[in-house]
């Protein structure tokens, strides 16, 4: 079983990484969703694979921790799932906003935006302003 889980997590990670390296926003969002699955699953299995021992106490006293799986990674992953929904929603809205505002859904900065204005000291700028 461990082998299956590890290969599945590896495959999903690889798919996620491949997709976030694409050039369009939607693919990147999908890639992030895939990565979320993989990472949440990984965090969850740090409690190791345990079958049929959910952390729901069956008796109120004489509790032996060995009878249950580790609940802590589960609690952490539970909030992580919900938070990643929030994150996905924000990213998706940003990509939608960029598409509507900018007219295309590329993730790269356009070439024309990559050129920075030359650097000047404050005095140089002031001098030029005066000349103008």
Partner 1 sequence: MSPALIALLPFIGALLPGLLIRSGRSVAATACGTTTLIALIGLVLHIPAILRGEVITARFEWLPLIQLNANFRIDGLSLLFGILILGIGMLIIGYARFYLSRQDSIGKFYTYLMLFQGAMIGIVLSDNILLLLIFWELTSLSSFLLIGYWRHLPEGRQGARMALAVTGMGGLALIAGMLILGQVAGSYDIGDILTRKDAIQASPYYLPMLILILIGAFTKSAQFPFHFWLPHAMAAPTPVSAYLHSATMVKAGLFLMARLWPVLAGTEEWFWIVATTGLITMTVGAVIAVFKDDLKALLAHSTVSQLGLITMLLGFGTEEAAIAAVFHIINHATFKASLFMTAGIIDHETGTRSIRRLGGLRRLMPITFAIGTIAALSLAGIPPLNGFLSKEMMLAELSDLEIARQTFMIVGTVAALFSVGYSLRFIVHTFFGQERDDYPHRPHDPGFGLYSWPALLALLVILIGLFPNTMAGWLVDASAAAVTGEAQSSDIYLWHGVNAALIMSTIAVLGAVVLLGLHRPLLAAWNAAPRPEAKTIYDWLLLRLVFAARGFTDNMTNGAMPRALAAFTLTTLFAGTLAWYTGAAGPATRDMLPIKLVPAIGWVLAMVATGLMVTFHRVRVLALVLVGIVGLMTSAFFAYFSAPDLALTQISVEVVTVILLLLVLNFLPKRTLVESGATQRGWDAFVATLAGVGFGGLTYAVLRRDFAFDPISGYMLENSYEKAGGTNVVNVILVDFRGYDTFGEITVLGIAALAIFALTQTLLQGKSAKRLRNWTYDQRRAGDRHPLMLVIATRVLLPITLVVGIYIFLRGHNQPGGGFIAGLVVAIALLMQYMASGYAWAQERQTLPYHALIGAGVVAAGATGIGAWFNGRPFLTSAYGYIKLPFLEKIGLSSAIGFDLGVFLSVVGAVMLALNSLSRIARQAGEKVNTKPMDIDLSEDQPEGAK
Q: Rule CB under 8 A: which of 72-131 touch partner 1? A: 72, 74-75, 77-79, 81-90, 92-97, 99-101, 103, 105, 107-110, 113-114, 116, 119-123, 126
CB atoms within 10 A of CB 16: 20
Name the minimum Å distance from CB 110 to partner 1: 8
Name the minimum Å distance from CB 115 to partner 1: 10
Scored b (16 or more CB within 10 A) or e, 17-41 reads eebbeeebbebbbbbbbbbbbbbbe
Name the minimum Å distance from CB 132 to partner 1: 14
Which of the residues 45 through 64 are near partner 1 (CB under 8 A)?
A: 45-58, 60-61, 63
Work out the angle at residue 52's Cα, subtended by the Cα atoms of residues 49 and 53, and round it to the nearest 5 degrees. Answer: 80
């Amino acid at each position: 079983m461990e082998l299956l889980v590890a290969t599945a997590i590896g495959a999903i990670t690889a798919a996620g990484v491949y997709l976030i390296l694409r050039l369009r926003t939607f693919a990147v969002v999908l890639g992030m969703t895939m990565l979320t699955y993989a990472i949440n699953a990984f965090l969850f299995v740090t409690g190791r694979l345990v079958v049929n021992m959910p952390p729901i106490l069956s008796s109120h006293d004489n509790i032996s921790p060995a009878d249950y799986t580790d609940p802590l990674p589960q609690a952490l992953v539970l909030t992580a799932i919900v938070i990643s929904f929030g994150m996905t929603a924000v990213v998706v809205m940003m990509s939608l906003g960029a598409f509507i505002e900018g007219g295309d859904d590329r993730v790269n900065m356009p070439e024309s935006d990559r050129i920075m204005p030359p650097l000047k000291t404050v005095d140089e700028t002031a001098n030029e302003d005066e000349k103008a």
